[in-house]
Amino acid sequence: MNVAQEFDPLYRAALALNLEHSHDGAALATITQTRGSTFRRAGASMLVLRDGRLICELSGGCPQRDIAWRAQQVIDSGQPALVAYGREANYDVMIETGCGGELEVLIEPLQVPRDLQFLDAIAQLRSRRLPGAMATVYAADGDVLGPRPQRLVQGEGVTWSDIEVDALRQQIAAALPTIDASMPKAATRRMSVDGRSYEVLVESLLPPHALVIVGDGVSARVLAELSVQLGWQTTLVDPAQTTTETSNGIRHIAASPQALATQVVLDHLTSAVVMTHRLERDLGYLEALLDTPVSYLGVIGSRQRAAQIQGALPHGHPRLHMPAGLDVGSETPQEIALAVAAEILATRNGRSGGPLTHSQMPIHP
């Protein structure tokens, strides 16, 4: 669950199971631990439906096929499973991927409405754009915890838990507030209570990244469509728009520079791109956006336009990305959208946006 942009499709698919009236169910596979080079990190989750469909696939390789096969067994049995892939077990599966690392995967059945309650709690936090944390108790004394893992979801104004051991729940609740941005997004901790040793996956829960695009041309629409594909909450501010509507995942609004902050959330998890291609209008929106904590603020245009904007703003503004986008030789609206989205992603993850060939940093943030 630690990849914010993957939650919505997984949650929609889980709700569509209609567990009140159907007993087909599904299985949720979550990576709990990794060691060395792996295709995904701890906290990544995939939903496996009884008909074989996969939501939020973990990878395209052999471990995913094996995980999906085991998930079908979990659906049939109604009991969770803890599967290790590494030198001690299922090593042949990992060898075929070429990753060379090891991982552990929790596979749990989703068969009754209460199995989805922790997802509802996460959705509450996301709807209010609040950060939080989730702890999943998935093993006790080395064995998978049954009949279900137990969880605590905690954030400002939201606390939900089905952890049965009070002392364990209190110990976990006391530990969660110590999580900060410098820690891994997800990691397994071992906690001891009353002589028993529990394995607990602790994950940070961040609101989804949001992108606000100000513009009314084809490039703005293409960037908005790509933003939706990336799982970002997308708002297209069109000065010519007469109504507020949402279509294909894009929220369309009309907002003047003065009213912008009252109609969209402009927080540190939001990026904004101004692309009206009209100098005075661009300046009006930029002046409004510069007073907000958005993490990325870009302007589409030529270098000449960028110089004009810098000259019109008092003291210039090093926060501005002008012209917006990575230098990939983009020309068409689709290529420009790709370059801009790539720069936003690199900025959010603290990366340079250069070739992986020349980077020694971990591939996954």
Q: Are 203 and 2 in contact (CB under 8 A)?
A: yes
Express each pLDDT in 214-270 by its tens digit. Answer: 998 899 999 999 999 999 999 999 877 777 788 899 999 999 999 999 999 999 999
Q: Are 118 and 160 in contact (CB under 8 A)?
A: yes
Helical segments of the chain, H only = 4-15, 62-77, 91-97, 117-127, 166-175, 218-229, 260-263, 279-289, 303-312, 333-348
pLDDT bucket at 329, cuts 50 / 70 / 90: very high
Query: Distance (Å, rounded) from C-alpha 25 to C-alpha 14?
Result: 9
Express each pLDDT in 63-102 by its tens digit. Answer: 888 999 999 999 999 999 999 987 665 655 555 555 567 8
pLDDT bucket at 354, cuts 50 / 70 / 90: confident
Q: Which residue has the tokens 């709700």?
A: 15
Query: Distance (Å, rounded) from C-alpha 15 to C-alpha 18?
Result: 6
pTM of the model: 0.85
CATH 3.10.129.10 for domain 210-348: no
Phi, psi of 122 (to 5 degrees): -65, -40
Give the mean pLDDT of 330-349. 95
3-state secondary structure of 62: helix
HSE, side-chain direction, 13 A CA sphere, residue 304: 1
Q: Are 167 and 194 in contact (CB under 8 A)?
A: yes
Who's near 354: CB < 8 A, 6+ residues apart? Answer: none
Q: Are 237 and 260 in contact (CB under 8 A)?
A: yes
pLDDT bucket at 277, cuts 50 / 70 / 90: confident
In the chain, where the domains are located: 4-205, 210-348
Express each pLDDT in 112-127 by its tens digit. Answer: 999 999 999 999 999 9
Tokens of 330: 């983009």
- CA dihedral defined by 297, 9, 261, 295, rounded to 10 degrees? -30
Q: How much is the pLDDT for 251?
A: 95
Residue 351 has pLDDT above 90, yes or no: no
Angle separating helix axes 303-312 and 279-289, nearest 10 degrees: 60
Mean residue pLDDT of the chain comes to 89
Phi, psi of 299 (to 5 degrees): -130, 130
pLDDT bucket at 195, cuts 50 / 70 / 90: very high
| Percent of the chain residues past pLDDT 70, beyond the cut | 90
| Percent of the chain residues past pLDDT 90, beyond the cut | 65
Express each pLDDT in 126-150 by its tens digit. Answer: 999 988 999 999 999 999 999 999 9
For residue 38, what is the DSSP state? -
* Number of helical H runs and strand E runs in the chain: 10, 18
- DSSP labels for 94-114? HHHHT---EEEEEEEEE-SGG
